[in-house]
Structure 1
Amino acid sequence: MVTSADIGSRVSDGAGRVGVLRDVITDYEDPAELPGRRRKKPMAFLGPEGGGREWIVPLEAIRCVDATDFGRGGECAGDEGGR
């Protein structure tokens, strides 16, 4: 699983988009939801490599794409040691 130790890594969001991991919030609550309907969920914040609008993705959908990470099965550097 991607963690905050992987911030700055190139990642894929599961929908074919590639970006840079900007932040990981494990207890994110969507402010667009009504307060009584908000649920905490782990989310990743990604940004385009050349700059632009950030987007959010469920944390479990994120996979690393750097050439140095291909042998890791989509796991980022922070995943070493079974995290």
Structure 2
Amino acid sequence: MPTLLASNTTVTENEDAMAMTCYTDESSTNWLFNATSLQLRERMKLSQDHRPFTIDPVRREDAGNYQCKVSNPVSSTESEPVELDVKY
């Protein structure tokens, strides 16, 4: 099961950045936002291996639950959700 860790889960809109990292042994990593596939915006960046994910700056519409999902040819599994709280 992948583990998702966040740099900060309570941030201030248009002031703070947020980083999350998905720790896993699997090579295929996807990100979920509120249980659906994450749609990247220009403020969001994924690393080449898709494990670190950043939002800079954070906006109120970024508030919600994030998960990373890993898969192989046999199965897939998701991390526990991490909730991002955006103050404004």
TM-score by length of 1: 0.27
The structure that is helix-richer by fraction is 1
**More contact order relative to length (CA 8 Å, sep ≥ 6):** 2
The structure that is strand-richer by fraction is 2
TM-score by length of 2: 0.26
